[in-house]
């Protein structure tokens, strides 16, 4: 029973170095064996996290430093996973705010910092990557101080400690000119600021709030949270105060704490520690665990509402069921119900349209929902996904409100005019512009719906040299209609296999999405039309043979490589009358109504 327990969270914008800092914590605390091969960003254990290079799910680990146990929570930096950040804040004593020495505070920095300040936490600022050639660490400290003041930090919070470091090399130092060899200055600062968990709370009645959920195939659902008061024992009878006010009596069958990267079983856990309990089937986030005869529920954890929705439909294409294992409404419902148990930023509603077979899924953004779709695809699901739509609200005067995002773009000066023009067309409002003669940094306020499909355009317009970051700032009055995609699409009017001869003839019509020898069906989208209308084409058309043929008549046809879509790009591309067909092997584009006659009937129906 180690009574010196400290809980910390590492918060920052995407790519500031959170997971790298946690790697350094674990390494210097001796968690890894001397001969152990360790991956970078060891906490990013999920396949998609490693592929995308971002943290999606907050995760726990624990290290020993001197006679202290320090629980560390690695949090996501992307705005779409903010629900992961919100509930974790309640379980920690302090946060390490990581800021890039050249970028300074970014939009997501503001969000995660505001959550910490609202809960009364006093952050420790670590200016990371001070080895960069363009570092401006001291200026960045002033920018962070201004951000604290903008967020109404109290006097104590404004007296935050500042350190400088290189997370990749595991170095933290008290000042720019006071060099260090390891993270000792950061460890010492944490201990000095937080101190011991109050011992008198250990003697009180147990109080644990569930802040996240996990699932183990052997022992079932796991509830994770901080034990604020008292002690809990394996096999103990407890009362569970639910978010709806009801109280259940349950038994804790398993009790665990974190040790390094592992979850270890213990007989007893004490106040201050982050613990994991098993054996309670219907445990949900926000539930409070107390002693049976001493019920003392904590306020429920409130998560911000979703801002975007997509319809997850049963795949109705002619290729349905050829690859996937899970293709029915029941399969999809069971999987979404399972996701709801652990993904608190998600909501699922039944579709009101009787002609559609599926569910309306609401989340915190395109990335939040596309990560779920990608997970389902890899698990063997087949889905038809509709165009992303924002979630509108009604204001106090019955006015229509829509989600607004703050967008910061950093682009070479030669491309800034194009980007500014595009953002203006998407109902954006310029807030600030700064230039050093080579690159322009432009800040905009843009409706979320105006940013759907903008990312790929932005990459093309800036030749891949532009950087764009965005974060939700709230809801404002509806800014009016936004023009959609300017081009129509090429729609296959036949089923079969695409042939080089047919595709060669179609290249003059636009940009193709498929190559030769690809299975197509009637209603499948095979390319982007060069004009603004949809065009029905036959990619399976073969060259007619004649009786006489001379040598050299059939030279090899050279086709332009087709444009390939990632899942996110496909979701950005489609219009209201189109779907993305997602299977374990393929991501295809199709019309919602496959036959030409059906499309004519619904031509003017945007619903």
Q: Which residues are annotated as a binding site?
A: 15-20, 128-131
Q: Which residues are annotated as a binding site for GTP?
A: 15-20, 128-131
CB 313 within 8 A of CB 356: yes
Q: Tell me how far apart the alpha carbons of residues 195 and 93 are, in angstroms, rounded to a whole number.
A: 10
Q: Tell me how far apart the alpha carbons of residues 5 and 62 are, in angstroms, rounded to a whole number.
A: 10
SS3 (DSSP) at 584: coil
Please list the residues that pair with 607 across neighbouring strands: none
Residue 539 tokens, joined = 């990619």
CB 2 within 8 A of CB 38: no
Long-range contacts: 546-549, Cβ < 8 Å, 24+?
Answer: none
**Angle, alpha carbons 330-335-339 (nearest 5°):** 145
Contacts of 358 (CB under 8 A, 6+ apart): 311, 312, 313, 314, 329, 332, 351, 383, 384
CB 9 within 8 A of CB 92: yes
DSSP state of 552: T
Closest among 34, 219, 18, 48 to 128, alpha carbons compared: 18
CB 208 within 8 A of CB 201: no
Residue 490 tokens, joined = 């090429």
In the chain the first and final C-alpha atoms are separated, in Å, by 61
Q: Tell me how far apart the alpha carbons of residues 45 and 60 are, in angstroms, rounded to a whole number.
A: 12
CB 207 within 8 A of CB 289: yes
Q: Tell me how far apart the alpha carbons of residues 539 and 520 are, in angstroms, rounded to a whole number.
A: 8
DSSP state of 561: P
Per 3-state DSSP, what percentage of the chain is helix, strand, and coil (rounded to 5)? Answer: 25, 30, 40
Q: Tell me how far apart the alpha carbons of residues 148 and 104 are, in angstroms, rounded to a whole number.
A: 13
Sole residue written with tokens 């031509």: 603
Q: Tell me how far apart the alpha carbons of residues 55 and 42 are, in angstroms, rounded to a whole number.
A: 11
Neighbouring CB atoms inside 10 A of 74's CB total: 25
């Amino acid at each position: 029973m180690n009574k010196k327990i400290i809980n910390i969270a590492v918060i920052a914008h995407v790519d500031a170095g959170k997971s790298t800092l946690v790697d350094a914590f674990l390494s210097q605390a001796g968690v890894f064996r001397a001969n152990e091969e360790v991956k970078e960003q060891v906490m990013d254990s999920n396949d998609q996290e490693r592929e995308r290079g971002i943290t999606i799910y907050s995760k726990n680990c624990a290290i020993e430093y001197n006679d202290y146990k320090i629980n560390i929570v690695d949090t996501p930096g992307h705005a779409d996973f903010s629900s992961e950040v919100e509930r974790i804040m309640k379980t920690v004593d302090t946060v390490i705010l990581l800021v890039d020495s050249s970028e300074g505070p970014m939009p997501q920095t503001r969000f995660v910092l505001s959550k910490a300040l609202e809960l009364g936490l006093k952050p420790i600022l670590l200016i990371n990557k001070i080895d960069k050639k363009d570092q401006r660490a001291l200026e960045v400290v002033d920018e962070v101080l201004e951000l604290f003041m903008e967020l109404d930090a109290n006097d104590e919070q404004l007296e935050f400690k500042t350190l400088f470091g290189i997370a990749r090399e595991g170095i933290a130092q008290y000042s720019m000119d006071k060099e260090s060899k390891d993270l000792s200055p950061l460890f010492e600062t944490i201990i000095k600021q937080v101190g011991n968990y109050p011992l008198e709370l250990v003697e009180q009645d147990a109080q644990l709030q569930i802040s996240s959920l996990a699932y183990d195939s052997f022992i079932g659902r796991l509830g994770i949270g901080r034990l604020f008061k008292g002690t809990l024992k394996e096999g103990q009878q407890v009362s569970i105060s639910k978010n709806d006010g009801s109280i259940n009596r349950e038994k804790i069958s398993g009790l665990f704490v974190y040790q390094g990267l592992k979850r270890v079983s213990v007989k007893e856990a004490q106040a201050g520690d982050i613990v994991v309990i098993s054996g309670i089937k219907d445990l949900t986030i926000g539930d409070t665990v107390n002693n049976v005869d001493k019920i003392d529920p904590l306020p429920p954890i409130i998560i911000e509402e979703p801002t975007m929705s997509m319809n997850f439909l049963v795949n109705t294409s002619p290729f349905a069921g050829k690859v996937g294992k899970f293709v029915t409404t029941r399969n999809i419902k069971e999987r979404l119900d399972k996701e709801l148990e652990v993904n608190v930023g998600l909501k699922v509603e039944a579709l009101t349209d009787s002609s559609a077979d599926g569910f309306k899924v609401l989340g915190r953004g395109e990335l939040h929902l596309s990560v779920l779709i990608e997970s389902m695809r890899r698990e063997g699901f087949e889905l038809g996904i509709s165009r992303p739509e924002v979630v509108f609200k009604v204001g106090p005067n019955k006015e229509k409100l829509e989600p607004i995002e703050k967008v910061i773009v950093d682009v070479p000066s030669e491309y800034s005019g194009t980007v500014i023009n595009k953002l203006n067309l998407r109902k954006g409002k310029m807030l600030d512009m700064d230039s050093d003669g080579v690159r322009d940094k432009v800040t905009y306020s843009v409706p979320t719906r105006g940013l759907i499909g903008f990312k790929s355009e932005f990459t093309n317009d800036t030749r891949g040299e532009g950087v764009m970051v965005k974060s939700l700032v709230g809801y404002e009055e509806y800014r009016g209609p936004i023009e959609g995609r300017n081009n129509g699409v090429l729609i296959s009017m036949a089923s079969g296999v695409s042939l080089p001869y047919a595709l060669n003839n179609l290249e003059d019509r636009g940009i193709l999405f498929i190559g030769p020898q690809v299975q197509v069906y009637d209603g499948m989208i095979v390319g982007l039309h060069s004009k603004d209308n949809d065009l029905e084409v036959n990619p399976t058309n073969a060259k007619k043979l004649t009786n006489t043929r001379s040598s050299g008549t059939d030279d090899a046809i050279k086709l332009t490589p087709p444009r390939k879509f990632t899942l996110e790009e496909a979701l950005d591309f489609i219009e209201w009358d189109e779907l993305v067909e997602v299977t374990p092997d393929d991501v295809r584009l199709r019309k919602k109504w496959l036959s030409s006659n059906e499309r004519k009937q619904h031509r003017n129906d945007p619903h």
